[in-house]
């Protein structure tokens, strides 16, 4: 007999049926309350049920919900584009709206390829990206992704990028961080030379690691090194801030922490904060002008620049400005980090806490001294997430060693959180870690 539930996603496990949400909380239809300790999928940056956003959406619905980009432009799209440009301090001057993070990354890929085509360099069609990394689930974005379980089923259908090692400030084997960064940059340069520098369109990087690495940070010297490689070999630097952008890290964009600007930037998630699908690709004027001279950007989506989506994005920025949420992300992120590091001292299963602002990752290990991961079959990342959810806390799990090993969770609450909210999150996570460590000691040999 077929299942009564016609939906299917990654898992066939039954999920609670959501009832409603408000602020940092969600309730299921049984009346149970959950703290949204991960903003859904690191998306609901301003929390749930915000009246300003709801009002703006209704006002836009009363005017027009949909127009097509080749027939009309909307004032809300123009205004939102200008506000985004302002927040890059004009590092990037042009905006192309789409509906999702994967679409934003695909748009970045296509803009880079078309730019070099009109510049008389059609051979530049290869991309360099990191392993591990995550850039989206559509085929172009998946080709950039370095996460084996997601890549493997579709390898025959994707055009894979040139994969280079990601810096790992937790597990590096060199004498110090500086030497490690130098080695990784050298490996990256060798990979570019092996691929043929004249064939490389761009290096693609997440300025702060997301789902694939659990908040993995880079150094300024690494980002400066990538910029130097792009300049040396004539390729572009694309930054994927689908997850890390829009105030999440305590700056409007994560790249601003490093002082290194990209040529193209991908945004999503926090831009619409979960209220309506909207994403964006931002680019330097020079690239867009060149493509325009060549006949225009041969790309588009039905919902590109959708008025309802853009009105939502404008309202999200209004909330972020009026409630000082970017600075709150920095302040509360610092406090969250302190509280997580206290848990790292308390529990032997917490190997590393990393990230910036309200993008914090916690890596679980079987042996804190050797940094040995739990056996893959133990599914530590899933166990801790289930235990937390049973206690009413939502966290975001993944594996940080190419998706095959290494267990981490992301603690990424809405940017509206207070110190009391963080204390409540930590209290539940503390109990969840105690449950997890007890199970691990019973089922896994500790060394």
Residue where a domain stops, chosen among 292, 322, 352: 322
Mean pLDDT of 94-98: 98
Q: Spell out a b/e string for 35-53, using b for 16 or more CB atoms within 10 Å of the CB, else e.
A: bbbbbbebbbbbbbebeeb
What's 375-427 look like in SS3? CHHHCHHHHHHHHHHHCCEECEEEEEECCCEEEEEEECCCCCCCHHHHHHHHH
Asked whether residue 228 is assigned to any structural domain, the reply reads yes
Q: Across the chain, which distance is largest between two alpha carbons, in Å?
A: 66
Q: How many degrees, rounded to 5, is the angle at CA 271 between CA 291 and CA 98?
A: 40
Residues 291 and 170 in one domain: yes
SS3 337: helix
Query: Does the global pTM surpass 0.85?
Result: yes
Quick check: 355 pLDDT over 80?
yes
Mean pLDDT of 69-95: 96
Mean pLDDT of 312-335: 98
What pLDDT shows up at residue 1?
45
Instruction: Grade residue 3 by pLDDT with cuts at 50, 70 and 90.
Output: low
Mean pLDDT of 380-394: 97
CATH number at residue 416: 3.90.1150.10
Residue where a domain stops, chosen among 291, 322, 353: 322
Report percent pLDDT > 70 for the chain: 98
SS3 36: strand
- Residue-wise DSSP of 200-231: EEEEEE-SS--TTTTS----HHHHHHHHHHHH
Quick check: 11 pLDDT over 90?
no
Asked whether residue 9 is assigned to any structural domain, the reply reads no
pLDDT in tens, 174-215: 999 999 999 999 999 999 999 999 999 999 999 999 999 999
User: What six digits make up the tokens of 379?
Assistant: 């599914």
Mean of all residue pLDDT scores within the chain:
96
Mean pLDDT of 404-411: 97
Residues 61 and 206 in one domain: yes
Q: What distances in angstroms separate CA 330 from CA 44, 264, 403, 442, one per listed residue?
A: 17, 25, 29, 39
What's the DSSP call for residue 16? Answer: P
Q: 107: closest CA among 79, 76, 144, 74? A: 144
Residues 333 and 312 in one domain: no
User: What six digits make up the tokens of 89?
Assistant: 């301090």
Residues 45 and 113 in one domain: no
Residues 95 and 144 in one domain: yes
Residues 360 and 217 in one domain: no
φ, ψ of residue 273 to 5 degrees: the values are 55, 25
Whole domain around residue 300: which residue ranges? 54-322
Inter-residue contact 225 to 181 (CB < 8 Å): yes
Asked whether residue 3 is assigned to any structural domain, the reply reads no
What pLDDT shows up at residue 216?
97
User: Beta strands 236-241 and 264-267: pairing type?
Assistant: parallel
Mean pLDDT of 416-436: 98
Quick check: 2 pLDDT over 60?
no
Asked whether residue 153 is assigned to any structural domain, the reply reads yes
Asked whether residue 277 is assigned to any structural domain, the reply reads yes
Quick check: 354 pLDDT over 90?
yes
Residues 123 and 182 in one domain: yes
- Residue-wise DSSP of 106-166: HHHHHHHHHHHHHTT-TT--EEEEEESB---SSHHHHHH-B-HHHHGGGGGGS---EEEEP
What pLDDT shows up at residue 446?
64
Residues 175 and 220 in one domain: yes
For 384, other C-beta atoms within 10 Å of its C-beta total 26
What pLDDT shows up at residue 115?
98
Residues 93 and 146 in one domain: yes
Residues 68 and 162 in one domain: yes
Sign of the alpha-carbon torsion through 217, 219, 220, 223 = negative
What pLDDT shows up at residue 161?
97
Inter-residue contact 325 to 188 (CB < 8 Å): no
Residues 349 and 416 in one domain: yes
Quickly tell me which residue has 């991960």 as its tokens: 38
Quick check: 445 pLDDT over 90?
no
pLDDT in tens, 207-241: 999 999 999 999 999 999 999 999 999 999 999 99
Q: 381: closest CA among 395, 398, 369? A: 398
Q: 166: closest CA among 213, 199, 118, 123? A: 213
Left, alpha or beta for 357 (phi > 0: left; psi -120 to 50: alpha)? left
Q: Spell out a b/e string for 199-227, using b for 16 or more CB atoms within 10 Å of the CB, else e.
A: ebbbbbbbbbbbbbbbbbbbeeebbebbb
Each as own residue / partner, the long-range contacts of residues 118-125 (CB below 8 Å, 24 or more positions apart, any chain) are 118/290, 118/291, 118/293, 118/294, 118/295, 119/290, 121/198, 121/234, 123/196, 123/198, 123/199, 124/198, 124/199, 124/200, 124/201, 124/235, 125/199, 125/201
CATH number at residue 112: 3.40.640.10
27 vs 33: CA distance, rounded Å: 4
Kind and range of the H or E element at 307? helix 307-322
Q: How many degrees, rounded to 5, is the angle at CA 142 between CA 139 and CA 144?
A: 120
Mean pLDDT of 132-158: 96
Quickly tell me which residue has 């305590």 as its tokens: 250
Instruction: Grade residue 38 by pLDDT with cuts at 50, 70 and 90.
Output: very high
Half-sphere exposure of residue 338: CA atoms within 13 angstroms, side-chain side: 9
Task: Count how many domains the chain has.
Answer: 2
What's the DSSP call for residue 275? Answer: S
Residue where a domain stops, chosen among 290, 322, 354: 322
Inter-residue contact 24 to 411 (CB < 8 Å): no
């Amino acid at each position: 007999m077929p299942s009564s539930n016609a939906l299917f996603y990654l898992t066939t496990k039954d999920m609670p049926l959501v009832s409603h949400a408000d602020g940092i909380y969600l309730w299921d239809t049984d009346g149970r309350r959950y703290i949204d300790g991960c903003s859904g999928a690191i998306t609901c940056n301003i929390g749930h049920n915000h009246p300003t956003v709801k009002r703006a959406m209704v006002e836009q619905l009363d005017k027009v919900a949909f127009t097509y980009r080749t027939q009309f432009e909307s004032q809300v799209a123009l205004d939102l584009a200008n506000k985004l440009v302002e927040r890059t301090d004009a590092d990037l001057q042009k905006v192309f709206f789409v509906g999702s993070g994967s679409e934003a990354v695909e748009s970045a890929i296509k803009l880079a390829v078309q730019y070099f085509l009109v510049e008389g360099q059609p051979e530049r069609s290869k991309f360099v990206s990191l392993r591990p990394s995550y850039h989206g689930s559509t085929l172009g974005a998946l080709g950039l992704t370095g996460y084996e379980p997601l890549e493997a089923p579709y390898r025959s259908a994707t055009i894979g990028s040139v994969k280079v090692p990601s810096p790992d400030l937790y597990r590096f084997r060199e004498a110090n961080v500086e030497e490690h960064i130098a080695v990784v940059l050298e490996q990256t340069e060798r990979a570019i030379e092996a691929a043929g520098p004249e064939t490389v369109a761009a290096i693609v990087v997440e300025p702060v690691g997301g789902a694939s690495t659990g908040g993995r940070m880079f150094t300024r010297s690494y980002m400066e090194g990538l910029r130097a490689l792009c300049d040396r070999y004539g390729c572009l630097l694309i930054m994927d801030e689908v997850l890390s952008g829009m105030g999440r890290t305590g700056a409007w964009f994560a790249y601003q922490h490093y002082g290194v600007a990209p040529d193209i930037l991908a945004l999503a998630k926090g831009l619409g904060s979960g209220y309506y699908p909207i994403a964006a690709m931002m680019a330097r004027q020079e690239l867009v002008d060149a493509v325009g001279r060549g006949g225009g950007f041969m790309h588009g989506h039905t919902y590109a620049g959708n008025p309802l989506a853009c009105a939502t994005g404008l309202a999200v920025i209004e909330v972020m400005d009026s409630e000082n949420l970017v600075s709150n992300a920095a302040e509360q992120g610092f406090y969250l980090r302190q509280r997580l590091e206290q848990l790292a001292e308390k529990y032997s299963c917490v190997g590393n806490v990393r990230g910036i602002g309200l993008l914090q990752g916690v890596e679980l290990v079987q042996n804190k001294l050797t940094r040995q991961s739990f056996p893959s079959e133990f599914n530590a990342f899933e166990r801790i997430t289930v235990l937390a959810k049973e206690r009413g806390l939502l966290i975001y799990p993944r594996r940080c060693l190419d998706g095959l090993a290494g267990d981490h969770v992301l603690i990424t609450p809405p940017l509206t959180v207070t110190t009391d909210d963080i204390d409540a999150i930590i209290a539940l996570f503390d109990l969840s870690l105690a449950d997890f460590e007890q199970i691990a000691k019973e089922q896994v040999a500790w060394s």
